[in-house]
Each structure stands twice: as C-alpha cells, then as structure tokens.
Amino acid sequence: MGILGEYPPDEMLRRLKVEVKKWEAADPSTPVQPALHYIAVTAQGAPGKDGKYRLRMPFKQIDSVLGMASRIHALVFLDVQVGFSNVEAEIPQLEKYLKMPNVHLGIDPEFSMKTGKKPGTVIGTMDAADVNFVSNYLAKLVKENHLTPKILVVHRFTRPMITNSRNIQKHPEVQIVMDMDGWGEPSLKHDSYKLYIASEPVQFTGFKLFYKNDIRKKGSHMLTPEEVLKQKPSPIYIQYQ
C-alpha cells in the first residue's frame, strides 16, 4: 500500500535512501534509521467469510518485506487495521514476527469499527485499554525473549480516535509513538499535530507525510523535513505513504 507497493523493490529502496539523506541533512544530530512499514492486516469494505471486515496478509508477503528491509538494514513495522475484529485476536497472529528484534508494530484506530459501521464510512476508535493490551503483550515478548524494546506506533488524527489516552500505560520494554496520521495542506497538519498529538503525546511523537494526498488541494505542498522538525515537540518517527 502506498509508496511501498508502487515501485519495484530496487526503485523503492533507492527512493527511501534519498529521503534518509534529506533527514540527515535537516537534523545532523539525530541518526536516521530507515524502516519499511507494511500493513499486515488491512480493513476491508466487504465482511469476508468471518464477517470481520479485515484481511490478514499471507506470511509470504511479510517475508518479502523482511527480505527487502534486510538489504538496507532497515527496521520493519507491521501495521494492523482490525475492522470488526480486535487487537486481542489480531496481534497474537503476528507473534513469530514480533519476536524478531528488528520487527515492530503499528495499530490504526481509524479502522477499528466499534460502532458496527463499515471501515471507510466513519473514523474508527480505540480506547486506552486496547493500547494497553498491545503494549502489555509486547512487553511480555520482550522480557521472555530478551529483546531490545519494541516500538508501538499508534496512528491518530482526531481526539475520539483514542479515548482515555491519559490511561495509557508505559513500560520500559515498549516505546509508544503517537503518530499524526492525517493528510492535507500544511495548516491542517500543523493544527492536527498540535491538538491531537502534542497535547497528548504519551511518550514519543510521529508525523506522517503523504506523497499524493498532501498535495490534493491546489497550492498545497508536502512538508519538508525542516518544516516537520519545527513542530513542538519535534517528532522522532516519520512515515511516508
């Protein structure tokens, strides 16, 4: 999905290296770690056989992403859109990958359809309890397998996407990133970051950039690394789609 699937691997990795160099130039004091972010469970417009409105990607697809990442010593993030399912059912399906030291996790409340409406028709929501289940699960994996801390990316661009965020628990084994996942012109992205990320950061903050959606409006542009770094606090995790 997005830039990860639009180009052959060689071209995609070349483009990623170009972006890495931009961030190295924008902030020489912070080492840049490349990563590939793959949606391993995708929300669907149709219910599927089990009525869960989500599709689990085959492991061979995840393996192919791991192979690409190994070529440039990149991290891998596996992202989960639960649809009518839930994190308790979906996250354990990925355990064999989450035990790998270079594999981390993302969860997307936008497609957590607790109201029973189809994905894509309304913006979904998760509660702190959902995030806590995932962080507890990851913390247990880290301790049992003697791993370095796992990164947990939680996407957000409205306040209701995460309810009771003050109750999100922290663990030394898990680094939680609240990621500003909205698209649009720069002013909208700045406001969303300020209102829904900077005001409730939990631990670390992230910022997502869209090659196509950020420039839909005439006269708009995708923010440069220098512009993104002007946010307060400066995001430490950057995702491109």
Query: How many angstroms separate the CA atoms of 25 and 151, rounded?
Result: 24
Angstrom CA distances, 154 to 51, 177, 221, stand at 25, 6, 25
Determine the 3-state secondary structure of 124 from DSSP. coil
Tokens representing 33 are 């770690």
On whether the CB atoms of residues 203 and 175 are closer than 8 A, the answer is yes
Give per-residue pLDDT as tens, 177-186: 999 999 999 9
Residue 2: predicted pLDDT: 83
Crossing angle of helices 9-26 and 59-71, rounded to 10° = 50
Phi, then psi, of 153 in degrees rounded to 5: -95, 125
Residue 1 has pLDDT above 80, yes or no: no
Tokens representing 62 are 């995840």
Tokens representing 158 are 């409205």
Residue 166: predicted pLDDT: 94
Query: How many angstroms separate the CA atoms of 182 and 72, rounded?
Result: 28
Q: What is the pTM of this model?
A: 0.96
Residue type, 116: G
Query: How many angstroms separate the CA atoms of 42 and 21, rounded?
Result: 31
Residue 213 has pLDDT above 70, yes or no: yes
Tokens representing 101 are 């030291």
Give per-residue pLDDT as tens, 15-26: 999 999 999 999
pLDDT band (50, 70, 90) for residue 201: confident
Give per-residue pLDDT as tens, 71-110: 999 999 999 999 999 999 999 999 999 999 999 999 999 9
Query: How many angstroms separate the CA atoms of 77 and 37, rounded?
Result: 5
